[in-house]
Copies of this chain bind each other. A is one copy, B any other.
Amino acid sequence: MHVLIIGAAGMVGRKLTERLIRDGHLGAAPITAMTLTDVIVPDRPEAPFPIVALQGDLSVPGEAERLIAARPGAIFHLAAIVSGEAEADFEKGYRINLDGTRYLFDAIRLVGGGYKPRMVFTSSIAVFGAPFPEAIGDEFFTTPLTSYGTQKAMGELLLADYSRRGFFDGVGIRLPTICVRPGKPNKAASGFFSNIIREPLAGHEAVLPVDEDVRHWHASPRSAVGFLIHAATMDTAPLGARRNLTMPGLSVTVGEQIEALRRVAGDGVVARIRREPDQTIRGIVAGWPRNFDASRAESFGFTAERTFDEIIRVHIDDELGGSWVK
């Protein structure tokens, strides 16, 4: 099995690559080769099979054909311009997130001759737009309030139609907000959800810009990789024509995040969180979904953490070698 990861230089792409190398197989199929690509050339880790790392822009005509020339049996399409950038640069967002996706799908369609790879497409809960029900169910309509969400919703529709037509075997997964996100604090409006856990555990102060009753939907990076691998290996027959799934996650308030941190790491760590209300971030976050009913994905075997304590422990195990700054 040749595996192609598009968007391999991102956080989830790197973790997926590591996991696949560690596993050595995807489902029952031994991995024989891997192609990694992104707009910056991805790292090429050591592996018991050949890995090619390519710099490339999926929205450039011909690039998709180059990527599928080796006829990968599984394709992870993680590449996207993120929400803020797609909002700031209208044309770039549509070019990368919509046209790039369509070029990829069409390149596969035009191969023909029985080539029908598994296609895993990362969508987003940004396909939904307020007002929401208290928990967003599997049949709720997609009315995005960003261009990014619009592009992801259009990608979902293409994925379903191209799968129905038999051009590939697609699964679209709507990822929760990934928490705890490793790395440095970033300026994304959602950054604080991870910052208030990661920074105190590293001995640094973290700023909390919203009230503790803000509720949001989370899963760990480890779960995100699990979703991707399950989407690449699951039996797709029971999906029928409904190829896009809201992934399971955990709905918690910021206050519950903080109490979990206290249980796992103690009062001293929690004391490093500094309240500094920010009306702009409060306003943005107020329009975000708070909770989902992901029964359908759960019925197909997707799983995520059930407590925020677990999410914190995953971070401590996977990123901090099991310990933190007391």
Q: Are B147 and A157 in contact (CB under 8 A)?
A: no
Q: Are A161 and B150 in contact (CB under 8 A)?
A: yes
Which stretch of A20-28, A73-81, A135-143, A223-231 is in the interface?
Answer: A135-143
Q: Are A90 and B165 in contact (CB under 8 A)?
A: yes
Q: Are A164 and B145 in contact (CB under 8 A)?
A: yes
Contact string against B for A residues 125-169, beta-carbon threshold 8 Å, 1 for contact and 0 otherwise? 000010000000011111111010010011001101100110000
**If the complex has contacts A129-B241, A154-B154, are A143 and B160 also in contact, measured as CB distance less than 8 A?**
yes
Minimum distance in angstroms from A6 CB to a CB of chain B: 21
Q: Are A147 and B165 in contact (CB under 8 A)?
A: yes
Per assembly, the copies of the chain total 2
A313 interfacial by beta-carbon distance below 8 Å: no
**If the complex has contacts A90-B165, A139-B140, A165-B90, are A150 and B157 also in contact, measured as CB distance less than 8 A?**
yes
Which residue numbers of A lie inside 8 Å of B, CB to CB? 90, 109, 129, 138-145, 147, 150, 153-154, 157-158, 160-161, 164-165, 241-242
Q: Given known contacts A144-B160, A154-B158, what 10 new A-B pairs fall within 8 Å (CB)? A: A138-B141, A142-B142, A143-B241, A144-B161, A145-B241, A147-B165, A150-B157, A150-B158, A150-B160, A157-B157
